[in-house]
Amino acid sequence: MVDFWSYYVPTKVIFGVGSVSQLKETVDVFGPDKILLVAGKQSMKKLGIIDKIVEDLKAYPVVILTGIGDSPKSEDVSKGVQLARKEECGLVLGIGGGSAIDLAKTIATLSQNSASVTECLSGKVGIANRGNPIIAIPTTAGTGSEVTQYASIIHEEKKISLNNDFLRPNVAILDPSLTATMPKFVTATTGLDALSQCIEAYWAKNHTPISDLIAVEGIKLIFENLLRTYEFPAEIEGRSNMLLASLFSGIAISVTKTTIVHSVSYPLTVHFNVPHGLACSLTLPLFVRYNSENDDGRILKMANCLGERTVEDFVLKIESLIQQLKLPNRLGEVGVKCEDIDLLVKEGFRSDRASNNPRVVTAETLRELLNSIS
Ligand SMILES: [Fe+2]
């Protein structure tokens, strides 16, 4: 743990079945002239969720930006910023999975800044001003983006994570009933993203007493509920617990940042189209074993908290969950060939994430570890 620590997760959270009914009241606090609604995929329109929200917000003009696929690109942000400025939208509402919420957060912020998205992604130009208010409504249970200061954007075939306090939503409305229509595959992969985030937050060098508590509780909730929601999608108590676990994972990484598992996941998503949570779960068991060999016994302590006797029992528990969710666990199964591992190392080894890992990881050790699951 670092010598001193802070805790700053200022997003107001409204949680519970039916809580989306609080949206109009929540918007009224900000009183915008016009709202930009950013939604991920057409499926939400088909399910009637967008129509219902527009109806609830009939007191306000609403401009809709929808149809964005997985992982927003820098061009999507630029188009959204232009639209928000042209329409003079005073509030951005993001509804969908992590990609839609990341896009909404970035549009809301950059529409009030002179820096372009590409300048911000280059890291050479900072975000100077607070943007328009952001309300986030997740419809998946995985990224926790509704409470974080991060937004992942793809630019020139690289997935880059913006990190700025102005990206934090003002309000997050978490209504488990909105997650009940998630397809099984999305339930599984987003749930594993939350699991990776909680475990990485726990072992991160930046961990704090508060993030430890939240991360361990999130891991417990995921082991108790992910398979249940996968097998019984309409069962609302399981959905509610998974949405809570996802929220916990977002709060935890908001404090600690992620580590090597997340950084290696990025090239898997960009070059091999592996969904984010699956990309994380591919290397998660590997790094639990690797990190536990030099972590002051913290991972064993976490395993014990979860009722496991040894770290190896904990790893087997993760591997069994991945198997029961019918997901692959080797790189070859997602289209990565042995000769592609160089690319994963080149783009997946990021010094900021590696230095937050409890055990030293070099590019060479990363290559060896990836080869062991090829
Ligand atoms: Fe993630």
What confidence tens digit (pLDDT) does each residue in 276-306 have?
A: 999 999 999 999 999 999 888 999 999 999 9
Residues 38-64: what's their mean pLDDT?
87
Q: Is the pLDDT of residue 123 over 80?
A: yes
Query: How many angstroms separate the alpha carbon of residue 165 from the centre of ligand 1?
Result: 18
Query: How many angstroms separate the alpha carbon of residue 277 from the centre of ligand 1?
Result: 6
Q: Is the pLDDT of residue 47 over 80?
A: no
If you search the block for the tokens 């964005």, which residue do you land on?
68
Q: What is the spatial distance between Cα 75 and Cα 153, in angstroms, rounded to a whole number?
A: 10
Tokens of 32: 């915008």
Query: How many angstroms separate the alpha carbon of residue 258 from the centre of ligand 1?
Result: 8
Query: How many angstroms separate the alpha carbon of residue 139 from the centre of ligand 1?
Result: 15
pLDDT at 71: 82
Query: How many angstroms separate the alpha carbon of residue 123 from the centre of ligand 1?
Result: 21
Query: How many angstroms separate the alpha carbon of residue 98 from the centre of ligand 1?
Result: 9
Query: How many angstroms separate the alpha carbon of residue 24 from the centre of ligand 1?
Result: 29
Query: How many angstroms separate the alpha carbon of residue 344 from the centre of ligand 1?
Result: 17
> What tens digit of pLDDT does each residue of 8-45 get?
999 999 999 999 999 999 999 999 999 999 998 766 77
Residues 185-199: what's their mean pLDDT?
98
Amino acid present at 208: T
SS (H, E, C) 134-184: EEEEECCCCCCHHHCCEEEEEECCEEEEEECHHHCCCEEEECHHHHCCCCH
Query: How many angstroms separate the alpha carbon of residue 309 from the centre of ligand 1?
Result: 28
pLDDT at 67: 76
Query: How many angstroms separate the alpha carbon of residue 245 from the centre of ligand 1?
Result: 13
Query: How many angstroms separate the alpha carbon of residue 52 from the centre of ligand 1?
Result: 29
Give residue 202's pLDDT band: very low, low, confident or very high (50, 70, 90). very high
Q: Is the pTM of this model over 0.95?
A: yes
Q: What is the spatial distance between Cα 85 and Cα 236, in angstroms, rounded to a whole number?
A: 39
pLDDT at 41: 73
Query: How many angstroms separate the alpha carbon of residue 318 from the centre of ligand 1?
Result: 17
Query: How many angstroms separate the alpha carbon of residue 197 from the centre of ligand 1?
Result: 6
Amino acid present at 160: I
Lowest mean pLDDT among 26-30, 47-51, 87-91, 314-318: 47-51
Instruction: Report H helices in 31-141.
Output: 42-46, 49-56, 74-86, 98-110, 117-122
- Chain centroid, CA 314 distance in Å: 23
Enumerate the β-bridge partners of residue 151.
Answer: 162
Query: How many angstroms separate the alpha carbon of residue 267 from the centre of ligand 1?
Result: 13
Query: How many angstroms separate the alpha carbon of residue 172 from the centre of ligand 1?
Result: 17
Query: How many angstroms separate the alpha carbon of residue 340 from the centre of ligand 1?
Result: 22
Q: What is the spatial distance between Cα 341 and Cα 325, in angstroms, rounded to a whole number?
A: 25
Query: How many angstroms separate the alpha carbon of residue 86 from the centre of ligand 1?
Result: 32
Query: How many angstroms separate the alpha carbon of residue 193 from the centre of ligand 1?
Result: 5
Counting Cα atoms < 13 Å in the Cβ hemisphere of 217 gives 16
Give residue 1's pLDDT band: very low, low, confident or very high (50, 70, 90). low
Query: How many angstroms separate the alpha carbon of residue 223 from the centre of ligand 1?
Result: 17
Q: What is the spatial distance between Cα 275 and Cα 270, in angstroms, rounded to a whole number?
A: 9
pLDDT at 43: 64
Residues 123-145: what's their mean pLDDT?
95
pLDDT at 2: 65
Give residue 48's pLDDT band: very low, low, confident or very high (50, 70, 90). confident
3-state helix, strand, coil in the chain (%, to 5): 55, 10, 35
Query: How many angstroms separate the alpha carbon of residue 143 from the centre of ligand 1?
Result: 5
Contact 358, 294 (CB under 8 A): yes
pLDDT at 295: 85
Query: How many angstroms separate the alpha carbon of residue 94 from the centre of ligand 1?
Result: 17
Query: How many angstroms separate the alpha carbon of residue 194 from the centre of ligand 1?
Result: 7
Sequence-ordered list of residues with C-beta below 8 angstroms from that of 188, at least 6 positions apart, any chain: 226, 230, 277, 278, 325, 326, 327
Residues 54-83: what's their mean pLDDT?
92
Residues 344-362: what's their mean pLDDT?
94
Query: How many angstroms separate the alpha carbon of residue 279 from the centre of ligand 1?
Result: 9
Tokens of 114: 């002179």
Q: Where are the beta strands (DSSP E) in the chain?
A: 12-15, 35-39, 62-65, 91-96, 134-138, 150-155, 158-163, 171-174
